């Protein structure tokens, strides 16, 4: 049995799917007797780095490597096609594509084109998930920071696959439990820029989620790394002491950019808003609550979609008043002037030196500090702190705010006054029958 069909292979540049760095995927199109099928090559090149006539990359990072990979794909497809010609009377582009992707081609039982499921490779599926996530970010339904984390996961997966298997992508069906074990070892031991245990586990947890998506889409029958435990000790982030917060607040700073950073940090310490949420705060998020029309800040968290509801304390009110006529805030409809996350954290390091704080200040530390102030200084119940932080689960809040000995001591003092007299004798308690 031999087919006399002919194959045409075309590579083209899908510029409409360019990422934030200006790189767009290269697609391979197979044509056999007028029928077409496409798949991603898992390669990208800058938007203006593709020669439409020559059908190859001419600019951008590693463009020569990209062209070499495309040549390898072409040679592999042509080889598989020659083999299929000896086995089948009629070959379709989908059959060739699936064989290339390690999927058994379905033999034709009728005159209709065989229907098989096009199964993506791991990085290809990850990229697809990221593109869908990016659409949700654009609709403000997901966090930009979480999108960055997913892109980081794909980057580390690609680095691992190339290092461990010497290939650019790996088929889902060839992934075994040991993939997670080796990935963990690569991230924590072998990689030049090693990750801590918690950070490495986060990457594997994301990989689990991609493979779970593969199971949902019937690309594979089960998640091969489902039983890999991703638990890791949560890093304890000690909050700033209230004395340190006061020192920052009272420090006179003549440099305008650092003064606004100081104000933003203090704002976070007394509201608990994360960077993304304070960045997007507008005057519309100020709500009058109750008969006394108390001013509150109410906003859905960008990360979880859970509402944060925080009464505006006097120090926060002072900062809102200070910047209400600020040109930047008026132009951008912001409540507080905020730099990019990178600049903000860089300037916070300068602020720490100026204020004599022997800690690395960052935006997330302010959130932990707010939780500590509410729980251990102002004696709010943990449930209330959880609501103000916009957490979905109180277990998350427990990682932010740990009960201090001072809180226990205050509660025990109240209990002693209730149960014992001034001489330490147990009071006679009247118990209603």
Check if the beta carbon of residue 369 is closer than 8 Å to that of residue 245. yes
pTM for this model (two decimals)? 0.54
Confidence band of 108 (pLDDT split at 50, 70, 90) = very low
In tens, the pLDDT along 361-375 reads 998 899 999 999 998
The more confidently predicted of residues 307 and 97 is 97
Task: Report the chain's mean pLDDT, rounded to a whole number.
Answer: 86
Alpha-carbon distance 87 to 82, whole Å? 9
To 10 degrees, what angle do helices 178-185 and 144-165 make? 100
Alpha-carbon distance 101 to 117, whole Å? 11
Confidence band of 376 (pLDDT split at 50, 70, 90) = confident
The more confidently predicted of residues 301 and 336 is 336
Q: Comparing C-alpha atoms, which of 332, 359, 331, 354 is closest to residue 261?
A: 354
Check if the beta carbon of residue 323 is closer than 8 Å to that of residue 338. no
Check if the beta carbon of residue 305 is closer than 8 Å to that of residue 277. no
* C-alpha distance from residue 383 to each of 37, 234, 371, 391 (Å): 55, 21, 11, 10
In tens, the pLDDT along 228-270 reads 987 655 667 789 999 999 999 999 999 999 999 999 999 999 9
Please give the pLDDT value at position 1.
47
Confidence band of 315 (pLDDT split at 50, 70, 90) = very high
Q: Report the range of poorest mean pLDDT among 42-56, 72-86, 225-239, 351-365.
A: 225-239
Helices and strands, number each (H, E), in the chain: 16, 8
To 10 degrees, what angle do helices 93-100 and 63-87 make? 120
H-helix or E-strand containing 183?
helix 178-185
Q: Which two structure tokens, joined as six digits, stand for 405?
A: 């000995």
Instruction: Tell whether the model's pLDDT for residue 24 goes beyond 70.
Output: yes
H-helix or E-strand containing 269?
helix 256-269
């Amino acid at each position: 049995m031999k087919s006399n069909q002919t194959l045409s292979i075309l590579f083209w540049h899908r510029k409409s799917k360019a990422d934030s760095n200006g790189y767009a995927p290269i697609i391979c199109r197979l044509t056999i007797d007028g029928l077409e099928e496409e798949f991603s090559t898992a390669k990208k090149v800058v938007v203006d780095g593709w020669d439409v006539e020559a059908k190859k990359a001419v600019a951008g990072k590693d463009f020569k490597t990209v062209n070499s990979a495309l040549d390898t794909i072409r040679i592999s497809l042509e080889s598989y096609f020659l083999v299929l010609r000896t086995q089948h009377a009629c070959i379709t582009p989908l059959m060739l594509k699936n064989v290339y992707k390690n999927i058994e081609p379905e033999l034709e039982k009728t005159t209709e084109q065989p229907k098989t499921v096009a199964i993506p490779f791991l990085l290809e599926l990850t990229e697809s998930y990221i593109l869908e996530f990016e659409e949700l970010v654009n609709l403000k339904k997901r966090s930009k920071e979480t999108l960055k984390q997913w892109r980081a996961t794909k980057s580390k997966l690609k680095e691992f696959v190339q290092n461990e298997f010497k290939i650019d992508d790996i088929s889902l069906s060839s992934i075994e439990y040991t993939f997670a074990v080796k990935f963990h070892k690569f991230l924590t031991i072998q990689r030049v820029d090693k990750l801590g245990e918690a950070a490495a586990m986060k990457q594997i947890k994301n990989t689990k989620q991609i493979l779970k998506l593969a199971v949902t889409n019937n690309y594979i029958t089960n998640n091969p790394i489902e039983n890999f435990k991703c638990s890791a000790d949560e890093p304890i982030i000690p909050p700033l002491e209230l004395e340190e917060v006061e020192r920052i607040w009272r420090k006179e700073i003549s440099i305008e950019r650092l003064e606004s950073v100081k104000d933003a940090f203090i704002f976070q310490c007394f509201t608990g808003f994360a960077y993304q949420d304070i960045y997007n705060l507008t005057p519309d998020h100020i709500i009058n609550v109750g008969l006394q029309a108390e001013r509150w800040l109410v906003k859905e968290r960008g990360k979880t979609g859970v509402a944060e509801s925080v009464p505006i304390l006097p120090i926060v009110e002072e900062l809102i008043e200070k910047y209400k006529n600020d040109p930047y805030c008026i132009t951008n409809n912001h409540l507080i002037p905020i730099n990019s996350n990178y600049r903000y954290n860089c300037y916070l390091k300068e602020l720490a030196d100026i204020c004599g704080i022997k800690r690395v200040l960052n935006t997330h530390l302010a959130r932990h500090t707010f939780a500590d102030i509410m729980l251990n200084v102002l004696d709010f119940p943990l449930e209330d702190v959880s609501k103000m932080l916009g957490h979905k689960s109180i277990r998350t809040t427990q990682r932010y705010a740990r009960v201090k000995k001072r809180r226990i001591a205050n509660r025990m003092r109240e209990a002693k006054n209730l149960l014992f007299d001034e001489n330490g004798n147990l009071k006679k308690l009247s118990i209603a029958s």
